[in-house]
Amino acid sequence: MDYDTYGSTAVELAIDLANADLAPDDGVARFLASHDEWFATGTSLDLTPADVEKAAVTARLVRAVALAESQDDVLTRLNELLALARPRPYATDHDGELHLHYAGPDAPALEQLTTTVAMGLSQVVVQHGWQRLGVCSAEGCDDVYVDTSRNASRRYCSNTCASRSTVAAYRARQKS
Ligand SMILES: [Zn+2]
Ligand SMILES: [Zn+2]
């Protein structure tokens, strides 16, 4: 699959956010700290409680997009997410490669997060189809994923879940 580099990694940020455990009090702060390479230098990652709640809303919307089962549902949920974005594209070569960022470098952390996530997810959906997003088929896992495989054959969130399910299926066959 031929993603543009930034679009592709931006969707990974969206997927990471949807799968992150944001429930603990410091859940959102931990997520931001472990993804700080996404924020422009000098951005304060200290969110107000209201912003923490908004980050959780963004995470839920990403998940809702991935779980949607029709194009209509995807569009409704995606547009809800996009309504939260404040895109202000700018070109940069901060990592040595010329590319576009979706959010302004001086925007607050929440705005950078929501905008990057919404734009990255939308980019993949409109370019590659909404079926590229899904939820893990492994028992006991409900993480979402983006399918970047050539033939759109992905069913699991990770190699761990894929091999766990292969082993479980093998054992089930042995028994019967
Ligand atoms: Zn960049
Ligand atoms: Zn999984």
Per-residue pLDDT of the chain (176 residues; tens, 9 = 90+): 444 444 568 999 999 999 999 999 999 999 999 999 999 999 999 999 999 999 999 999 999 999 999 999 999 999 999 999 999 998 988 888 888 899 999 999 999 999 999 999 999 999 889 999 999 999 999 999 999 888 888 999 999 999 998 888 888 888 87
pTM over 0.85: yes
Question: What is the structure's pLDDT at 1?
Answer: 43
> In this predicted structure, what is the pLDDT of residue 2?
45
- Secondary structure in 3-state letters for the chain: CCCCHHHHHHHHHHHHHHHCCCCCCCHHHHHHHHCHHHCCCCCCCCCCHHHHHHHHHHHHHHHHHHHCCCHHHHHHHHHHHHCCCCCCCEEECCCCCCEEECCCCCCCHHHHHHHHHHHHHHHHHHHHCHHHEEECCCCCCCCEEECCCCCCCCCCCCHHHHHHHHHHHHHHHHHC
Residue 40 is predicted with a pLDDT of: 92
CA 40 / ligand 1 centre spacing (Å)? 8
Whole-number Å distance, alpha carbon 20 to ligand 2 midpoint, is: 13
CA of 161 to the centre of ligand 2 (A): 5
Contact criterion met (CB below 8 Å) for 103 and 123: no
166 Cα: distance to centroid of ligand 2 (angstroms) = 12
